[in-house]
Amino acid sequence: MRRVIIAGNWKMNGTIVETENLIGALLAGESENDKATVVVCPPFVSLSRASELLNGTHIAWGGQDMSEHVKGAYTGEISAEMLLTVGATYVIVGHSERRQYHAETDDLVNAKAKYALASGLIPIICVGEMLEEREADRTEEVVGTQVMGTLSGFSAADLSKIVIAYEPVWAIGTGKTATPEMAEAVHSFIRKKAAAVDAAAAEEIPILYGGSVKPDNAERLLAQPNIDGALIGGASLKADDFIAIIRAV
Ligand code: PEP
């Protein structure tokens, strides 16, 4: 039985006070759910406060990115160790906004994911095609290359500790969602690609869908056999919506 994960990526939204309010609303509104692991990824500046508020609750927390380097002269970067010191257990790597606006490549995402694993963090590795790639019928080629590139050098033991998020770029923040059938087809394809590394471990990887997941489409997406949860942007900033999505599991 694969783990179901509902993860919120808050992106560059919220001051520390707003983080406190959102976490307060999540804790007040949602009791423990044995069907899903719930994770929130606040901005780095808020992580320390988030850890104080979430410590001992059923909600885990993580970073939105991390450096592939241990430490040193990398202005603006955050290391795995820094995430660990605020109790983070997850880290998103290779989000399409990092790939698009910071030119992150599969090699870099691979290095980040490997270093996250070596540090004891669970990487949520994001992949997904752009609109023009889908329209040119290149989804499998693009996503397949991303999966093989970001998982390069991984062992079966590594695969058993990762999470993959399929996020079609054209569906992120646009209100356009892949239909459950479209998403399921890509999720099943991703699992087959990961099976080239290790078939048994690939079966157990939680593969999350991301891209305009909302309370009204979550249930149908999450009902698909290879959709093991969701990575949520916009709707994770509204406590009621995020809670409704968790309840849809
Ligand atoms: C995301 O950026 O990870 C995301 C899925 O955003 P949204 O839910 O807003 O489309």
Q: Which domains does the chain carry?
A: 4-247 (3.20.20.70)
Contact 184, 220 (CB under 8 A): no
Nearest CA to ligand 1 atom 1: 233
Q: Among the atoms of ligand 1, which is closest to the Cα of residue 172?
A: 10
Nearest CA to ligand 1 atom 2: 233
Contact 62, 75 (CB under 8 A): no
Residue 18: how many other CB atoms lie within 10 Å: 15
Task: From residue 74, give the alpha-carbon distance in Å to each of 67, 99, 169.
Answer: 8, 18, 28
Which DSSP symbol is given to 40?
Answer: E
64 C-alpha to center of ligand 1: Å? 12
CA distance 39 to 90: 8
Nearest CA to ligand 1 atom 6: 233
Distance of CA 130 to the CA centre of its chain: 18
Structure tokens at 47: 């992580």
Angle between helices 180-195 and 215-222 (to 10 degrees): 50
Cα end-to-end distance, the chain, whole Å: 14
Residue to mutate, 41, 97, 232, 236, ligand 1, most ligand atoms under 8 Å from C-beta? 232
163 C-alpha to center of ligand 1: Å? 16
130 C-alpha to center of ligand 1: Å? 14
Length of the chain: 249
Contact 101, 120 (CB under 8 A): no
Strand 207-210, strand 229-232: pairing: parallel
Per-position DSSP letters for 188-203, written without gaps between them? HHHHHHHHTT-HHHHH
What letter represents residue 240's amino acid? Answer: D
Active site residues: 95, 167
73 C-alpha to center of ligand 1: Å? 31
CA distance 92 to 96: 11
Contact 151, 159 (CB under 8 A): yes
Full pLDDT tens readout for the chain, 249 residues: 798 999 999 999 999 999 999 999 999 997 677 889 999 999 999 999 999 999 999 999 999 999 999 999 999 999 999 999 999 999 999 999 999 999 999 999 999 999 999 999 999 999 999 999 999 999 999 999 999 999 999 999 999 999 999 999 999 888 888 899 999 999 999 999 999 999 999 999 999 999 999 999 999 999 999 999 999 999 999 999 999 999 999
Structure tokens at 54: 């979430």
Q: Among the atoms of ligand 1, which is closest to the Cα of residue 11?
A: 2
Nearest CA to ligand 1 atom 3: 233
pTM score, whole prediction:
0.97
Please name the residues in contact with 179: beta carbons below 8 A apart, sequence gap of 6 or more.
Answer: none
Residue 247's φ and ψ, nearest 5 degrees, are -70, -20
The residue with tokens 């099976």 is 195
